[in-house]
């Protein structure tokens, strides 16, 4: 075994710290949860916009009992939320048939000056398996 050399590399502490910071950043950037994503909606006075569908399914069958209750936790005056009842297609679950539900609609009424704000609300679903409250946040740009 003559002539065999063992080579050891010595890493500097700053280099290791920088490398761990880069790895941690790469790992954490892929962990964005749906609750952290905030959508932006622009409305002029008198306009309405559909925000998202409203339904609750299990095995592509509705288990919702009635239409959910809307509770606005924080939002600007002059903006109302309502649910337009109708059949909707649960695309996120890969369902092929529409189910009872509706579409959440935001309506801007009296807007006196441009305003950038948020609206935070909760939908209280009543299902055959019990109550299922879900919270949402939208950024609003309002114009007269």
How do residues 62-111 score in pLDDT, each as one tens digit? 999 999 999 999 999 999 999 999 999 999 999 999 999 999 999 999 89
Q: Is residue 115 part of a domain?
A: yes
pTM, rounded to two decimals: 0.71
Report which of residues 75 and 29 the model is more confident about: 75
Give the confidence band of 39 by pLDDT, cuts at 50, 70, 90: confident
Strand, coil or helix: 90: coil
Q: Which residue range(s) make up the domain with 124?
A: 34-143
Give domain status of residue 19, yes or no.
no
Q: Is 53 exposed, middle or buried (0-12, 13-18, 19+ CB in 10 A)?
A: middle
Query: Any idea what the CATH number is for the domain that residue 45 is in?
Result: 2.60.40.60
Q: What percent of the chain has pLDDT over 70?
A: 74
Domain count of the fold of the chain: 1
Helices and strands counted in the chain (H then E): 1, 9
What's the angle, vertex CA 79, arms to CA 106 and CA 43, rounded to 5?
65
| Cβ burial, residue 107 (10 Å; 0-12/13-18/19+) | middle
């Amino acid at each position: 075994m003559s002539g065999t050399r063992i080579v050891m590399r010595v890493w500097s502490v700053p280099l290791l710290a920088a490398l761990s910071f880069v790895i941690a950043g790469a790992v954490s950037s892929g962990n964005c949860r749906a609750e952290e994503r905030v959508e932006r909606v622009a409305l002029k006075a008198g306009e309405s916009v559909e925000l998202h569908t409203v339904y609750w399914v299990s095995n592509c069958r509705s288990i919702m009992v009635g239409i959910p209750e809307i509770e606005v936790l924080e939002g600007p005056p002059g903006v109302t939320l309502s649910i337009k009842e109708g059949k909707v297609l649960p695309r996120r679950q890969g369902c092929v048939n529409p189910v009872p539900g509706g579409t959440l609609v935001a309506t801007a009424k009296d807007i006196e000056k441009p305003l950038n704000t948020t609206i935070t609300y909760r939908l209280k679903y009543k299902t055959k398996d019990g109550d299922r409250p879900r919270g949402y946040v939208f950024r609003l740009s309002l114009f007269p």
